[in-house]
């Protein structure tokens, strides 16, 4: 925890859980990405945390922005980004939203099928499109489903269709899975991408860009490789598969940009047992759960570090749950969390690594509870 966050929480007197994000850490993370991949443009994934202060900082630093909706496009523009620094990276878009984005100056769109290409050709003529291909996400803590992307064999047909409709067939994108712990996982996707580039060239269409996606991790309970390791591995794969003709590249960090910059302060609402027979397993209920920012604990995929004022005391296994009257609002049960036996009602719990995908997952007014507050310092 940074000294700035520690000082903020020391002086905070409000009730309820909150997220505190230190923009100095975001600044350092952006610098690390820019240095690790100096010839690659950074497109921050706005969905990770769209706080205006974060977007404005990144815009000043020169970042571009990956957006998923008109709302995110407007937020990036309001933060100071110009349209050429914004990608409409969602492959599922209403035609009227494509038209609105085009009117706002956006000229770079993601696709993964012919029908999406046709919408863009009608609503954003002459724009650049890149086709997303499927990736298995092996090695990622939060693998992605088949919702986005097409099989690689289909991509040339999609891009040729775009070309015939007057769009600029610009490149290929993929995503190796969120919280990807293996820097080598980009290699197979880049081999497939290079093959698509060659096939398109044989069709007389020369692609120019590879969108390397996100997947760059933040530290939770386990150490992860430094961003420099990812940069070195990706560059080596680019050189191996493209030789001396490396295309334009972009990355879309979200979690890796803001995850470690944020900490949630929560409170213990209740400590209990379900029966006298379960002497060694306690239930610890917090004032925040799945519905108020911690959705990524689904299937216990993301295990956040928990810090308590009683760290150092003897530990016992605990089921950790949220405060709502929904039975799925349980964070960690399959693998109970080891927490101090001395933990009491009213103790403050710090949940680390929560700068990404928490406020944006937080519901409003479920069970009459407010959404997760955020303070950006």
Count CB-CB contacts under 10 A for residue 136: 14
18 is catalytic: no
301, with CB counted inside 10 A (0-12, 13-18, 19+), is middle
Q: How far is CA 133 from the centre of its chain?
A: 18
**Separation between Cα atoms, residue 90 and residue 149, nearest integer Å:** 10
Task: List, in sequence order, every residue forming a beta bridge with 351; answer none if it has no partner.
Answer: 264, 306
Element (H, E) at 263: strand 262-272
> Can you say whether residue 299 is alpha, beta or left, with left for phi > 0 and alpha for psi between -120 and 50 degrees?
left
> Catalytic residue among 18, 113, 318, 325, which?
325
**Separation between Cα atoms, residue 291 and residue 42, nearest integer Å:** 31
Residue 57 phi/psi, 5° resolution?
-60, -50
Residues 6+ apart with CB under 8 A from 293: 17, 19, 264, 354, 358, 359, 361, 362, 372
Catalytically active residues are 325
């Amino acid at each position: 925890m940074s000294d700035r966050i520690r000082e903020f929480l020391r002086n905070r007197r409000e009730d309820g859980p909150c997220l505190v994000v230190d923009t100095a850490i975001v600044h350092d993370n952006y610098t690390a990405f820019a240095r690790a991949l100096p010839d690659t443009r950074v497109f921050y994934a706005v969905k990770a945390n769209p706080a205006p202060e974060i977007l404005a900082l990144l815009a000043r630093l020169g970042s571009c922005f990956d957006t998923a909706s008109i709302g995110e496009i407007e937020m990036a523009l309001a933060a100071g980004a110009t349209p050429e620094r914004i990608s409409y990276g969602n492959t599922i878009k209403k035609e009227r939203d494509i038209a609105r984005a085009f009117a706002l100056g956006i000229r770079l769109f993601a696709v993964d099928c012919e029908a999406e290409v046709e919408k863009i050709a009608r609503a954003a003529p002459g724009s650049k499109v890149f086709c997303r291909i499927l990736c298995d996400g092996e090695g990622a803590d939060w693998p992605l489903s088949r919702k986005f992307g097409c099989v690689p064999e289909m991509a040339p047909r999609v891009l040729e269709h775009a070309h015939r409709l007057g769009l600029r067939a610009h490149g290929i994108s993929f995503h190796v899975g969120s919280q990807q712990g293996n820097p080598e996982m980009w290699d197979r996707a880049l081999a497939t991408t290079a093959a698509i580039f060659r096939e398109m060239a044989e069709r007389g269409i020369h692609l120019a860009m590879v969108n390397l996606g996100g997947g760059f991790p933040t530290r939770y309970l386990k150490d992860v490789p430094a961003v420099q390791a990812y940069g070195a591995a990706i560059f080596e794969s680019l050189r191996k598969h493209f030789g001396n003709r490396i295309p334009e590249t972009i990355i879309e960090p979200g979690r890796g940009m803001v995850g470690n910059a944020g900490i949630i302060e929560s409170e213990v609402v209740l400590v209990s047992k379900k029966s006298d027979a379960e002497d060694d397993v306690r239930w610890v209920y917090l004032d925040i759960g799945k519905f108020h920012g911690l959705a990524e604990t689904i299937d216990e995929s993301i295990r956040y570090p928990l810090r308590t004022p009683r760290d150092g005391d003897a530990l016992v296994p605990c089921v950790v749950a949220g405060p709502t009257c929904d039975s799925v609002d349980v964070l960690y049960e399959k693998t109970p969390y080891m927490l101090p036996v001395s933990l009491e009602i009213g103790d403050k719990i710090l949940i680390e690594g929560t700068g990404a995908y928490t406020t944006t997952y937080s519901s409003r007014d479920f069970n009459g509870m407010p959404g997760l507050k955020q303070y950006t310092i």
